[in-house]
Chain A
Amino acid sequence: MQKIPLMLAKAGMVLARDVFRGDSPTGMPVCGKDTQLTDALITRLDQMDVQSVYVEGHPVWEEGQRSFDELLGELDLRFEKCRENPLNAMLYDIYKAHLTKSMGGEGGRQTD
C-alpha cells in the first residue's frame, strides 16, 4: 500500500483504503477500497477536494527513493544492537512487516 497525491493517481490503480471527501475521515466514504480507478473517477475525486489516496502496491517511484532491499538493510543496521531483547525482536518483525506492506510486497492487502 502506498499513499500518493491524487495528482499522481492513474487509471488502473486500485484503492487500498476508503476515500473520504476533502480527506476528512468522518462521514460516509465517497469511494470504497478495492475500487479500480478510472480517469472519470479521478476527476470526480479531484472535484470533491480529495488530496491523496491509498493505492495497492507501490506504483509511484520518486527520484532518489530507496529500494525495499536498501530500506531493509537500514532497518537491520538500526536493530543490530538490540535484537537479542525479545521485545525489540518483536518490534523488528513489526517494522519489517510494515516495510513489506508499504512497499507493496506480500501482505499488501488490508483485510479490514
Chain B
Amino acid sequence: MEDKRIELKKIIMDTRTLPTLPGVINKLNALSENDKASVQEMAKIVASDQVLSARILRLANSPSYGFYRVSTISNAMILLGVNVVKSLALSSSIFAIMEKNSIGLWEHSLGVGVAANLLARKLGLPECEEIATAALLHDIGKVIISLKCVEAEQEILRLVRERQIYIREAEREVIDTDHAEIGGWLSKSWYLPEKLSEPIACHHDVASSQNHRIKTSVVHVADVLVKASGFGNSGDRYVPEIQQVAWNTLKLDQGIMADLVDTLEDKLVEVRNFSLEMMAE
C-alpha cells in the first residue's frame, strides 16, 4: 500500500509537468532571506513583470483587501508591506494556475483566504497575511489531482456523488492519499516556507500539525465556515466537522463565531463581485 502511494507521489510530482511558479516569485522568495533587500529592489523585480504588476495593483486596490488608490508598485509595497505584496504576487500566480481549472474551486479558495484573514485579525494573531496566503492555497492539491490523475478524479467524483462521502474520503480510497497531503508535497517543491506548507498539508487533520498549529487551525476553521456559507464550490457539498483541537487552539467561542459570520457574509458579496471581475479580464 505504502509503495503505491510513493509511486503515485512520483507521478504526481513529476516536475516536468508540474505547474511552476513564475521566476519572479522565486526571485522574491530568495530576496526575503536577505535583510538588505530594499523595497526598491523588490519593486523593481515585480515591476519587470507587467501582467503581475497589473494584477497586484488591481488586488491592492480591491475592496476585498480594504486598501484604496495605490498606483505604483513601490507605493503598494510601502503601504501594504513587503509580505503582503509577496502574498499578492503568489496568489495571483495561483489564480493563473487555478482559473483554467475550476471557477468554483477558485471562489472557494478566495473565500477561505478572506475568512482566514478576518479570523486571524479578529484574534489578533501575528502574520495574518501568511495565514491568508496559506488559506488561499489550501486546496491546491485538488488542482494537481485534476491535472495529473484525470481518470482517478472522475472516480473520486463518482464516489462522492454516489455514496455522499467527503471528497477527502474518496481520494483516500481511490489514490491512497489526499489533496491536503499532495498540496504539502507541491508546496515543498515550490520551496514555500513551512508556515505555509504545514497549514496546507494539515488543514483536514489539525492534530497532525506540529509547528504551526495556530495557522493550521485558522485555515481549518475558515474552510468549514466557507463551506457552511455555501460560497464557491470546493467539491464537497457537506460541511465537515469543526475539529475540537482547532477550536481549543484558537480559544474560539460562540460570540466570536457569530461576529465572524456577520462580517464574513458581508465580505463574501464583495469577493463574488471581485471574482467575476477577474474572470472577465
Contacts and interface: CB of A to CB of B under 8 A. Distances in A.
A3 B239 contact: no
Contact of A82 (B225, B229, B239): B239
A94 B258 contact: yes
A98 B265 contact: yes
A105 to B, nearest CB: 15
Contacts of B258: 94, 97-98
A97 B257 CA distance: 12
A88 B224 CA distance: 9
B241 A88 contact: yes
A78 interface: yes
B200 to A, nearest CB: 22
A80 interface: yes
Given A87-B247, A98-B262, 11 more contacts: A3-B269, A78-B227, A78-B238, A79-B238, A82-B240, A85-B241, A87-B241, A91-B239, A94-B258, A98-B258, A98-B265
B121 to A, nearest CB: 15
A90 B241 CA distance: 11
A91 B230 contact: no
Contacts of B241: 82, 85, 87-88
A87 B242 contact: yes
B266 A3 contact: yes
Given A90-B254, A97-B258, A98-B262, A75 B230 contact: yes
A3 B262 CA distance: 12
Interface in B91-135: none
A74 interface: yes
B224 A95 contact: no
Interface residues of B, number: 24
Determine chain B's interface SS by DSSP, over half rule: helix
Contacts of A98: 258, 261-262, 265
A81 B237 CA distance: 10
B237 A78 contact: yes
Contacts of B265: 98, 102
Contacts of A82: 238-241
Contacts of B34: none
Nearest to B225: A91
B244 interface: yes
A95 B228 contact: yes
B238 A80 contact: yes
Given A3-B269, A75-B230, A88 B239 contact: yes
Contact of B228 (A78, A81, A97, A102): A78
A77 B261 contact: no
Nearest to B238: A81
Q: Which 3 A-B residue pairs are closest in the complex by CB-CB distance?
A: A87-B242, A81-B238, A85-B241
Contacts of A78: 227-228, 230, 237-239
**A3, A74, A88, A97 pick with most chain B CB within 10 angstroms:** A88
A90 B257 contact: yes
Interface in B133-170: 164, 166
B227 A91 contact: no
A91 B224 contact: yes
B239 A87 contact: no
A74 B230 CA distance: 8
A91 B228 contact: yes
Contacts of B262: 98
A76 to B, nearest CB: 11
Contacts of A95: 228-229, 261
Contacts of B240: 82
10 contacts: A3-B266, A75-B230, A79-B238, A79-B239, A82-B239, A88-B242, A90-B254, A91-B257, A94-B257, A98-B261
